[in-house]
Amino acid sequence: MSRPAPHSQPPEQAHVVIVGAGFAGIGCAKELAKHDDVRVTLIDRHNYHQFLPLLYQVATSQLAATDVAMAIRKEFRKHANVDVKMAEVVSADPTALAVRLNDGQEIAGSHLVLAAGSQPNFFHTPGADQHAFPLYSLQDAERLNSRILTVFEDADRDPALVEKGALNFVVVGAGATGTEVAGALAEMIRDVMPSEYHDLAIQRAKVTLVDHGDAVLGPFSPHAHDYASKALERDGVEIRLGVSVKEIGPGHATMSDGTTIPTRCVIWGGGLMAAPLAEKSGIAQGRGGRIDVLPDLTVADHPRVYALGDFANVPGPDGNAFPQLGSVALQAGRWAAKNIRADLYGKPKAAFHYHDKGIMAMIGRNAAVAEVGKHRHELHGAIAFVAWLGVHVVLLSGVRQRVDAFVSWAWDYFTKSRGPQVLDRSDVARIDWGDDEQT
């Protein structure tokens, strides 16, 4: 897309309202922040941006929460044209280009960008919304971390609780999220917990990965499926494919094959859907509750409304929607900003073109898979592990986060110890071990 001539002026000063400070919202705001003739209001219910691909490492004590959270205001402190608001958006009006906050305040602009992110999709599984532990926010990661530590503490105090599933961990979904958390948890049990809880972890703890599909890391190549499965099984993970979870109770998970696993920790990586704002946006929802957008990322019949990231179904060149990946969201955010600029100067908006750099997933120490570039050159093992580390260090927003994360990874790699293993979530740190009739 060509940039406007330096002497040209937009017919009006743009005021872009961006809902959500995820990859898409941050990418859009950063691009617009470069231009003084655009005013941006960036709204998020947190005052930090959370690096979602690393949440599982917070959950398994590899990283601290501060390693994956970036203060939004700090990111834009040098840009006077960006106003950050910490508030919850409860509804949107695409015609008025306005949003309503939970305190009743309305904020309207000349353009509206909806990038409110996602929420777990439990697919109407009974009990999942009450008893499963999703992993789609920093709070989710901290809650899961506390539950993992709680069951070890309780089993250490009363070994009889092991028979009630205290050390059974069930991971639902063998996509990237499920595979990464299963691998990290198995490694934690094998390398870290024995020094904290003697031999209790290795002897009694068990991780089960469940998926209704026929492969681990489905979007990857068949070779990667095989590599990932073997790496997980080598670390002691039981893989059950072709099986789905039919019901989750406070102390058990029932499978589609009729078996029941006693457990106090079911980790949900089984899918996501658009955040609740999608239902209150006045816009028709498509697959996954997401908003379907046109190739230029705008909403049909609303040329100044954009939907991005996990909040949208963005059509790809093959007609199918792009996957919900951070790289897609970040690039779409930047692209939307450029289209907004083009629109201001009366120039045509361009269809989104995604630069596919590949996909990767971490399985464990020296075990990762990566498919890089347009032709999906495959990397497995230690070289993919190093590539994964490098890419994620670069993607982390702040210099401090990069340094802290790299130091934590290096310490974990060479010492096989982790931290912080501190129980600080009282809502999940107390378990009523008699509240499930099936255990």
pLDDT above 90 (res 258): yes
Neighbours of 250 (CB within 10 A): 18
Could you state, in order of their start, the residue ranges of all structural domains in the chain? 14-45+87-119+273-344, 128-270+358-415
Which of the four CATH numbers 3.90.226.10, 3.30.420.40, 3.40.50.970, 3.50.50.100 does domain 128-270+358-415 have? 3.50.50.100
Say yes or no to pLDDT of 414 above 60.
Answer: no
Instruction: Tell me the mean pLDDT in the region 432-437.
Output: 84
pLDDT per residue as tens digits for the range 355-408: 887 777 878 777 778 777 666 677 776 676 666 566 655 555 554 454 455 455
The pLDDT, as a whole number, for residue 318 is: 87
Q: Do the domains spanning 14-45+87-119+273-344 and 128-270+358-415 agree at the CATH topology level?
A: yes
Q: How far is CA 316 from the centre of its chain?
A: 21
Measure the N-to-C terminal CA separation of the chain; round to a whole number of Å: 61
Higher-pLDDT residue of 284, 439: 284
In 3D, which of 44, 69, 74, 47 has the Cα closest to residue 58?
Answer: 69
* H helix or E strand, kind and range, residue 265: strand 265-268
Indicate the CATH number of 14-45+87-119+273-344 among 3.40.50.510, 3.50.50.60, 3.20.20.70, 1.10.3720.10: 3.50.50.60
Helix (H) or strand (E) holding 358: strand 358-364
Number of H helices, E strands in the chain: 12, 26
Instruction: Please give the mean pLDDT across all residues of the chain.
Output: 87
pLDDT of residue 438 exceeding 90:
no
CA dist., res. 79 & res. 30, Å (int): 9
Q: Residue 426 — pLDDT band, cuts 50, 70, 90?
A: low
* pLDDT per residue as tens digits for the range 20-76: 999 999 999 999 999 988 999 999 999 999 988 889 989 998 888 888 888 999 999
Q: How does pLDDT run across 102-124, given as a tens digit for each residue?
A: 999 999 999 999 999 999 999 99
Mean pLDDT of 221-241: 93
Cβ atoms of 245 and 129 within 8 Å: the answer is no
pLDDT the model gives residue 70: 87
pTM of the model: 0.88
Catalytic residues: 180
Residue-wise pLDDT tens digits, 148-186: 999 999 999 999 999 999 999 999 999 999 999 999 999
Prior bond to 420 cis, omega within 30? yes
Q: Which amino acid is at 52?
A: L
DSSP reduced 3-state for 105 = coil
Q: What is residue 54's predicted lDDT score, i.e. its pLDDT?
A: 83
Give tens-digit pLDDT for 334-357. Answer: 999 999 999 999 999 999 999 887
Best-predicted range by mean pLDDT (152-161, 301-310, 406-415): 301-310
Give pLDDT, residue 52. Answer: 86
Q: What is the mean pLDDT of residues 202-231?
A: 92
pLDDT at 203: 76
Mean pLDDT calculated for residue range 233-246: 96
Of 53-62, 193-202, 317-326, minimum mean pLDDT range: 193-202
Predicted confidence (pLDDT) at residue 6 exceeds the cutoff of 50: no
Using DSSP bridges, classify how beta strands 82-86 and 298-299 pair: parallel, antiparallel or unpaired: unpaired
Q: Are 265 and 169 in contact (CB under 8 A)?
A: yes
What is the pLDDT confidence band of residue 421, given thresholds at 50, 70 and 90? low
Q: Quickly tell me which residue has 């980790």 as its tokens.
A: 267
Q: Summarize pLDDT for 271-298 with one digit per residue, the tens.
A: 899 999 999 999 999 999 999 999 999 9
Chain centroid to Cα 290, Å, comes to 16
